[in-house]
Structures are given as structure tokens and as C-alpha cells.
Amino acid sequence: MKPILLHPDDNVLVLAAAIQAGQAIEIDGAVMAAPQDVAVGHKIARHALSIGDKVLKYGAPIGSMTAPAAPGAHVHMHNMKSDYIASHTRQATGEAS
Amino acid sequence: MSALTGFLRADGRKGIRNVVAVAYLVECAHHVARTIVTKSDDPDAHLIGFPGCYPNAYALKVMQAIGAHPNVGGVLLISLGCESFNREALRASIAASGRPVEVLVIQESGGTAETVRKGVEAVARLKAAADQAPRAPMDVSELVIGTICGGSDGTSGITANPAVGRAFDRLGVAGAACVFEETGELVGCEKIMADRAITPELGLALEASVRKAEAYYTVMGYGSFAPGNAEGGLTTQEEKSMGAYSKSGSAPIVGILKPGDQPVSGGLYLLDVVPDGEVRFGFPNISDNAEIVELIACGAHLTLFTTGRGSVVGSAISPVIKVCANPETYRKLSGDMDVDAGRIMEGRGTLDEVGDEIFELVLAVAGGARTVSEALGHQEFILTYKAFDPIGPACLPLRRVS
């Protein structure tokens, strides 16, 4: 499975289909085992990312890392945040789960 | 360019549908208006309205713009009688546009049952009058096309949104006016967007409109970002924005509109949907259809709606073409989608191919073909309280000075 690189400057890739842990994924020509299950449309790290790194997608900054991520790791709410307005999840808005 | 045939209105505008709008002017008249539409049993009788009892200049402007919309062939206003909506100003502006308009005031018409009876007769009269509208040749350059995204996910910005951008580029070349919107979903894109303005002053106004949106949403405590966006792989407002922004294509931006303003030329416009002044009436747009109504108030003959998670809505007055970004969603909801843009994710098509398909579908729908949501009877409409200042002098550089 080859994730989508939207812009040459990007440090995240977008999944064209869901992947499962252990599945072979190809990042910049190198094949590795996916570290975890990730759904279609979600992002994974193109290379190792550190706290404070700007996340680049479409060649533009879309937020900053709040925790490190290894190559191939899922990049989402648990390790990055907006540089503008905080995002929210259903749990955070007080809806009964 | 393939010629269309429009419904020619007395004011010279041309529509692609011939709708009789039944409008309630306060929630207290909603049931009566809805019952009239239901009993009329005509796919071209559409329910619209405004629920509030307090006056609002924005709501009046939007209702006036929709009453004179090119797709509207006649209007029935349903008033309770004691609400503060300025029904005479609305009736007068619709009449001045040359469209037949009738008014029923429930408190003076014998109550619910009698008003419903009179209303059904009125709709039949208005429909007969609308059917007399002459048909006239219509060029693509006379179309106004809106776009919106709803239920976005990580696929939206890769497939459906840039495909709509391709279609917008082709429509713009053909001379159509194309309108994109939701400045709250352009937070993070303001600089690159400003570079596309046809004048430096318009560029500054574009940036200011996004700053206004960011400030407004910050006060509200939430960005234009729903939990479903995150479940679909979007993490931040600016990430959602970059994907949404690609709906606008690559043409220069020729102007900024606010709800109810009309494009003055072909080309690409930004619709500024975030209220001016202090935060007063709540969230700028409480759901997607509030934005579609504002696009229609700017003259949109039809709207291109991109969705990743899978919205099923349509709209009153103007058809909605739904472009599905996510191939998994398409398989679950294909009966609600007009275009399978998610096939790009699976290598079954390119952005250019899907863009061309959307362009051709716009022409077909403008020619009378019903969209999926129209055929399913979707006629959503929602209008809430807002406050706007008029657009500034930098917003429409192409406006003729008379």
C-alpha cells in the first residue's frame, strides 16, 4: 500500500485505503510494516516527527506536533494540534457516549 | 457552448427551475405553510421561511433575494399576523420583480383550516401563472453556481473538493459566476487566497474576512469543525480549510459578496458568511443548509455539495449536486450521491475526469435533469438571525460605476 504524498514538502502522507497493523506500506520507496490500524483519509508520518514540528500537508502548515511520531505512525488529535482554533471531539462536547 | 433554455422572468433574469415558494414569516405560521405545500403535492412547490418573531434586516434581505430568485416563478407568503417580519416590504419587492405574489394572514383568514384551503388554491393559481413564463435561450455565462462542503473528511480535500475546483475553473472560463464560501473554513488559507485577488485592496478585504471569522469562532469556542471531521481523519481547522479551499479552483478572485448580494459579472466570488460586529446571534451557520440558503440568496441556480462522511441533503429553490469524496461512503450511500469522486482514491479516475463529469452534470441539471436529492424530495431550508454591514468599496472591483 502506497499512501498519497500531496506535496513534495509534506511530512505526512494520506491513506488511500485503510491499513492494518503489520501490513506492508511504502514510504518514499522504502517498505515497512504499518505500526497500527489507521482508517482511510487519515494521515501517517512520512518520517520521524518531534514535539513542536509544523505538520505540512498540501505544502502548507496544518498544525504542530504535541508528541513525537515515528515514521508510519498515525498523526491525529493525540499527537498534533491546531495553531489557530482548538478542535473538538464528541466526548469533549459533553454528549453522552 | 451548449445552449440552455431558461425560464425568463419579468426582470430579465433566467431560471433553471420554475418554483412556487410558500414562505412562513414566523414559526407560528410554519404548520399552515407546510400543510399547504404537502396538500399541493407538486414537486415545484417549495417550503421556505423564517422562524423568528423579532425583526432582522438580514433575514428580510435574504427572503427578498430569494423571492426574486431566477428559479422562483411565484410566491405565497403565510403570516400569522402579529409577528414583526416586514411582510409588506417583502411582498412589495417580490411584486416589483414582476413575480406573482399572494399573502395570507392566518388571523384574518379564518385560522388554520381555512388558510390551508385558501393557500392550496393560491399555489394552484401561482403555479398556473408561473407556467406562463416564457422560455428563452440561456448561456452558461448566465449561470450562478455555488459550492459548499459538508461532512468533510480526509478524502474531501483530495478528491471531491479539487474536482469541484476543476469544474469551477471550466465554468469560470465559460463566463459563469462561481461562488465559494464559509470564511471560517478558510482559516489558515488567508494569505494564499489573498494572492489570487484581482486588486490589492480586494486581497486585504479577503484576509480581513478570514480574520473576522477566526475571531468570531474563537468567541464561540468552536471552529467550523465537527466531531465527524476528526473521525474522518481531519485533525485541525487549518487542515480542513486547506481541503475546503481547493473547491475554489485556480481562477482569480473577482469579488466578495455577503448574503443577498448578487454577482456583478462572471468569475469567482467569495461569499462572506460570518456576521459583522459583536458576536450576537450564535454560530454563524448552524448547519450546512444555512450556507446553501445564503448561496441561493446570492443567485445560485444550483449548488455543488462535496461530502466525505456522507450528507444526504438537498435544498428548496435550487438543485444540489452531491459529489462524494470517500469511496467507502459512496458504497454505503450511493443512492444519495450524484458523483463518485472517491473513485480517484482507488485509481478509477482522475481529478480532471471527475471535474469534467461535474461540469457536464451542471449543464444537464441546468437543462432540467433532476439531481438525486431533488428526486428524493429533499427541500431543506433554514434561515436564522444574523447581522451584516454592507460590503466595503474594495469588495467588488468590477462593479460598474453608474
Rounded CA-CA distance A84/B95 in Å is 47
pLDDT of residue A95: 44
- Beta-strand ranges (E) seen in B25-86 are 45-49, 72-79
Assigned domain for A20 exists? yes
The domain of A31 spans 12-81
Q: Is the pLDDT of residue A93 over 70?
A: no
Q: State how far the Cα of B382 lies from the Cα of B315, in Å rounded to an integer.
A: 9
In a domain, A5, yes or no: no
Task: Decide if A89 is inside a domain.
Answer: no
B192 vs A76: CB contact, 8 Å cut-off?
A: no
Number of domains in chain A: 1
Q: A85, A90, A91, A93: best mutation site toward chain B, by most B Cβ within 10 Å?
A: A85
Shortest Cα distance, chain B CAs vs residue A23, angstroms: 18
Per-residue pLDDT tens, chain B, 402 aa: give them: 457 999 999 999 999 999 999 999 999 999 999 999 999 999 999 999 999 999 999 999 999 999 999 999 999 999 999 999 999 999 999 999 999 999 999 999 999 999 999 999 999 999 999 999 999 999 999 999 999 999 999 999 999 999 999 999 999 999 999 999 989 989 889 999 999 999 999 999 999 999 999 999 989 887 778 888 999 999 999 899 999 999 999 999 999 999 999 999 999 999 999 999 999 999 999 999 999 999 999 999 999 999 999 999 999 999 999 999 999 999 999 999 999 999 999 999 999 999 999 999 999 999 999 999 999 999 999 999 999 999 999 999 998 654
CB B335 within 8 A of CB B341: no
pLDDT interval class at A89 (50, 70, 90)? low
**A85 contacts on B by Cβ (under 8 Å):** 187, 214, 217-218, 222-223, 225, 237
Give me B47's grid cell.
417550503
User: Across the interface, do B225 and A15 touch by the CB < 8 Å criterion?
Assistant: no
Q: How far is A85 from chain B (nearest CA, A)?
A: 6
* Burial status of residue B254 (CB atoms within 10 A of its CB: 0-12, 13-18, 19 or more): buried
At B400 the pLDDT is 61
Of B154, B189, B246, the CB nearest to A42: B154
Contact A76/B at CB under 8 A: yes
Report yes or no on A21 lying in a domain: yes
Q: Within an 8 Å CB–CB cutoff, is residue B238 touching chain A?
A: yes
Q: What are the chain A neighbours of B343 within 8 Å (beta carbons)?
A: none
Q: Using the 8-state DSSP alphabet, how is residue A12 labeled?
A: E
* Cβ distance of A89 and B188 shorter than 8 Å: no
* Per-residue pLDDT at B386: 97
- Any CB–CB contact under 8 A between B242 and chain A? yes
User: Chain A partners of B229 at a C-beta cutoff of 8 Å?
Assistant: 87
Q: Is A6 among the domain residues?
A: no
Look at residue A18 and tell me if it is in a domain.
Answer: yes
Chain B residue closest in CA terms to A42: B233
Whether residue A93 lies within 8 A of chain B, CB to CB, comes out as: yes
Rounded Cα distance between B161 and B380, Å, is: 22
Taking CA–CA distances from A94, the nearest residue in chain B reads B227
Rounded (to 5) percent helix, strand, coil in chain A: 0, 35, 65
- Alpha helices by DSSP H, listed for B281-398, are 288-297, 327-333, 351-366, 372-375
Question: Nearest residue of A to residue B152 by CA position?
Answer: A41
Please tell me the predicted confidence (pLDDT) of residue B402. Answer: 47
Question: What is the rounded distance in angstroms from the CA atom of residue B216 to the CA atom of residue B220?
Answer: 6
Query: Which residues in chain B have Cβ-Cβ distances shorter than 8 Å to A17?
Result: 345-346
For chain A positions 25-44, those within 8 Å of chain B (CB to CB) are 39-43
pLDDT reported for residue B221: 84
Instruction: Give yes or no for B157 touching A (CB within 8 A).
Output: yes
8 Å CB contact of B238 and A80 = no
- Whole-prediction pTM value? 0.94
Query: Distance (Å, rounded) from C-alpha B228 to C-alpha B307?
Result: 11
Residue B31 phi, psi dihedral angles, 5° rounding: -60, -40
A16: nearest CB among B225, B308, B345: B345
Alpha-carbon B145 to chain mean position? 9
Give the minimum alpha-carbon distance from A42 to chain B in angstroms, rounded to a whole number: 4
- Is A61 in contact with B243 (Cβ distance < 8 A)? no
Residue A19, H or E segment: none
**Amino acid at site B99:** R
- The CATH number of the domain holding residue A17 is 2.30.130.110
Tell me the pairing of strands A43-45 and A12-14.
Answer: antiparallel
Q: Among B227, B237, B327, whose Cβ lies nearest the Cβ of A85? A: B237
Pairwise CA distance, residues A59 & A61, whole Å: 7
Count CB-CB contacts under 10 A for residue B293.
27
Q: What is the 3-state secondary structure (H, E, C) of B373-384?
A: HHHCCCCCCCCC
In a domain, A64, yes or no: yes
Please report whether residue A97 resides in a domain: no
Q: What was the pLDDT predicted at B401?
A: 54
Q: How many CB pairs under 8 A join A and B?
A: 108
Chain B closest-CA separation from residue A50 CA (Å) = 17
